[in-house]
Amino acid sequence: LGEHQRIHVLGAPAEFDAELAQLTGVQVLRSLDAPDRCQFLLAFARNRAELAPLIDSAVAAAEGDAVLWFAYPKGTSKRYRADFNRDEGWEALRAAGFDSVRQVA
C-alpha cells in the first residue's frame, strides 16, 4: 500500500474481509461513488460483465498516478470461469492510459 492511507476495495469476496481487518492506519472504502477520487483501488471481478463497470468507475475516479489492481480467477480455477485473463480484457484501461503488470508474485 505504500503511503496510501485511503484505499478503495470493490467486489471483494467475504473471505477477504479478514485480510482487510489486519490493515492499520488505512481507511478502506467499499464503494466508489462520484465525486470520489481514488489513488489506490483493488477490485475483484470474475468475468467481463463484472470487470467492465469496475474499469469505468476506476478510470473516472483515478487521481494522479493512481494504482489500480484487479484480482480475477486464474485460468486453472475449478471454482470460477473467467472470460478474460492477464493479456485480454484490459483494452479500456489501456485506452485510458494505464499500463499492466504481467505477473505479481
Overall domain count for the chain: 1
71 inside domain: yes
Going by C-alpha positions, the residue among 58, 65, 53 that lies closest to residue 32 is 58
Strand partners, 48: none
104 inside domain: no
In which domain, by residue range, is 86 found? 6-95
Spatial distance between the Cα atoms of 59 and 96, rounded to a whole number of angstroms: 7
Encode pLDDT of 3-30 as tens digits: 888 899 999 999 999 999 999 999 999 9
59 inside domain: yes
Going by C-alpha positions, the residue among 20, 21, 24, 43 that lies closest to residue 32 is 43
Going by C-alpha positions, the residue among 34, 30, 38, 43 that lies closest to residue 4 is 38
22 inside domain: yes
pLDDT given at position 104: 63
Q: What is the pairing mode between strands 27-29 and 6-10?
A: parallel
102 inside domain: no
Encode pLDDT of 67-95 as tens digits: 999 999 887 888 888 889 888 889 989 99
C-alpha of 90 from chain center? 12
100 inside domain: no
pTM of the entire structure?
0.87
